Amino acid sequence: MRPAVGRGTDPKRVHAILRKLDEAYPAATCALTHDDPFQLLISTILSAQCTDERVNRVTSILYKKYRNAKDLAYADPNEIEKEIRPTGFFRNKTKSIIGASKKIVEGFKGEVPASMAELLTLPGVARKTANVVLGTAFGIAAGVVVDTHVQRLSRRLDLSKNTDPKKIEQDLMRIIPQDRWVLLAHQLIWHGRRVCQARKPKCLECNLERICYSKDKTI
């Protein structure tokens, strides 16, 4: 079966999209505040169904109290729930945070593993979270982060016709050079937040407008 990529995946068009993203967001990076791979991992877990801004407010306090995996691995779950409550889904996130921290302490000598296979053994960690950690903390392009922004823009720009994040990731990996996977995700996320918003995209402000033919366009 042929992959459900869009007609907009002609190499010249893809190159043009990448060039326009470079012009608009040459220094795009992860918006989650962190000092090390472990903090990035925890912040990414907390970011599910929550804004990065809110996560950063919560972690600015959390990381002063819990400085490493060992601190969180054996922390009181009730205390963690109170600390992270503003991020939503705090009970499930607490289980993931404590579970992942214990696995890191007991299975990886207190260090966040730097491989997709090992990261996926951590409770609460799926491909999206693993890709964030590998790409941002370790500079390893193992895949493409597909959050809600990347998912939306991939379809609007006709880079994929899929709706499932895993399939969208595979589509993007087929058409985007591997050395661009990490930066591309950051750029699409920034563009999705600032310009190509879900309800009312700011097409008049978009430098991709001339090569975009999405049905969601506002002009």
pLDDT in tens, 90-136: 999 999 999 999 999 999 999 999 999 999 999 999 999 999 999 99
Euclidean distance between CA atoms 39 and 125, whole angstroms: 14
Name the nearest CA neighbour of 50 among 80, 86, 92: 86
Whether 2 has a pLDDT exceeding 80, the answer reads no
Whether 5 has a pLDDT exceeding 70, the answer reads no
Neighbours of 213 (CB within 10 A): 12
Neighbours of 21 (CB within 10 A): 23
pLDDT in tens, 8-62: 899 999 999 999 999 999 999 999 999 999 999 999 999 999 999 999 999 999 9
CA dist 209 to 12, 43, 86, 200, Å?
Answer: 16, 33, 36, 14
Collapsing DSSP to helix, strand or coil, 145 comes out as coil
Euclidean distance between CA atoms 93 and 95, whole angstroms: 5
Cβ-based neighbours of 79, under 8 Å, separated by 6 or more = none
The per-residue pLDDT for 209 is 97
Catalytic residue among 20, 93, 147, 158: 147
- Catalytic residue at 147? yes
Catalytic residue among 128, 158, 164, 166: 128
Q: What is the average pLDDT value for the chain, to the nearest integer?
A: 96
